[in-house]
Structures are given as C-alpha cells and as structure tokens.
Amino acid sequence: MTKREKLIERLRTNFKNVRYEELEALLLHLGFRQRQNGTSHAVFTHTEFPHLRLTVPVRKPFIKPVYVEQALEILQELDDLLD
C-alpha cells in the first residue's frame, strides 16, 4: 500500500482529524491545481478534468469533516474517470 493509498484510507476512517496540509498534498499529487489569491479559501481544480473542483477553507490545523467528505467524493469521481 502506497503512502497515497494509506492517506486516502485514513481520510475514510478518521475524517474528523485531517490536517489541511495533508489534504492539500494529496490533491496536488493527484493532479489538482490550487488557487488562493489572498482569500480564506483554497480552490482545487483538476488539470485534466476541470469540472472536478473543491473549495476548502484554509482552517488550520484541522479542516471540517464535511470538506473531507466532499474531497472523498471527488477522489472517487476521479478514480471512475481514470478507469
């Protein structure tokens, strides 16, 4: 199991204690771009599939579980598109 797979599994099982930096690193590794121009929210858009978009407030150290759930839905959709 790779680091990425372990992190995704951790997001699924322990979604209340996810750090913003962990989610950010995962999304950037999977081909998302981050846009945050002086705002309190970061917008992640996939480079190949621009309709895959996630807006996350930059709330440190932990982000709210609802945003983790949204990220998991987008990751599932990305996985479906790549298959």
> For the domain that residue 57 is a member of, what is the CATH number?
3.30.920.30
Count of other CB atoms within 10 angstroms of residue 3: 10
pLDDT of 2 reads: 80
Could you tell me which residues come within 8 angstroms of residue 59 by beta carbon, excluding any fewer than 6 positions away?
A: 20
pLDDT 10s digits, 21-75: 889 999 999 999 998 777 889 999 999 999 999 999 987 788 999 999 999 999 9
pTM for this entry: 0.85
Domain tally, the chain: 1
User: What stretches of 1-83 adopt beta strand conformation (E)?
Assistant: 32-35, 41-46, 53-57
Structural domain harbouring 38:
3-82
pLDDT of 52 reads: 94
